[in-house]
Amino acid sequence: MASKAAQKRLTKEYVAMQREPPPFVYAVPDEKNILTWNYIIRGPLDSPFASGEYHGVLLFPSEYPFKPPGIKMFTPSGRFHPDKKICFSMSDFHPGTWNPAWSVATILTGLLSFMLSDEMTTGSVSASESQRRIYAARSHAWNLGQARFKEAFPEYCTTLVKDLPNMGESVKSSTSSMLSPPTFFSPPNPQASSTTISTPATIPLPAIIPNSVIGPSDGKGEDHLHGSTGIAASLGHMWEKWKWGILIVLAVVVSRISTARA
């Protein structure tokens, strides 16, 4: 049973984590026992654990925050033995190094940092980078088959892996780069010219329409297009279909002319 100090402290930390979740980690207390917290760690994109989803528990003593928790990871990762306590500076293996100012967020951030390191200790396993990537790819499916995961995180029991509230700056940067405007043209011959040729993202339709598609005057000073609606739509369709091909050809011609003059 949790002491009043532990109850108060862990309740406060839960509110803080909901308000400002740390990157790549998420945790909730058990509904029946606030001393047991289930957590999820997501592997950063630049690590062998990329896209992995790792479920485990923090087992707090009734004396928390004056004593550290026990820590386990259930999901196979190639880094820790599943369902065995992990030894690192913030766990109950090292009560002498424990700092009562540390919180759930601090512990999980430290666990993620330790997971990304190569340090071997009690509870660790040694696996190759390729093996860890395989475990990462299989992790969500493995979690979905575990009653403990489904009970603790029903909102994450989806077909596809669901992002945590804070997926870190590396994911945001990756998303931003994918949303950047595409480059429509690059010179086919990098030695052809030092002049940079660029094309705007939006090209207006030509302002001049060939005389062949302009009809006779109606005597009121206005010219009409033959079948104006159909022809305009046809021209617009043709332009959208061929404009980039035409622009690329023109760009190549200009590039070659510039090279010849140089």
Question: What residues have CB less than 8 Å from 5, skipping those under 6 apart?
Answer: 64, 65, 66
3-state per-residue secondary structure call for 85-149? ECCCCCCCCCHHHCCCCCCHHHHHHHHHHHHHCCCCCCCECCCCHHHHHHHHHHHHHHHHCCHHH
Query: Rounded CA gap, 87 and 101, in Å?
Result: 19
- Is 157 assigned a catalytic role? no
The Cβ of residue 99 has, within 10 Å, a number of other Cβ atoms equal to 10
3-state secondary structure of 134: helix
Question: What residues have CB less than 8 Å from 248, skipping those under 6 apart?
Answer: 185
Query: Rounded CA gap, 216 and 74, in Å?
Result: 81
Tokens of 69: 């928790």
Question: Residue 36 pairs with which residues in a beta bridge?
Answer: 59
Q: Which of 5, 50, 87, 161 is catalytic?
A: 87
Tokens of 56: 């485990």
Q: Which residues are catalytic?
A: 87
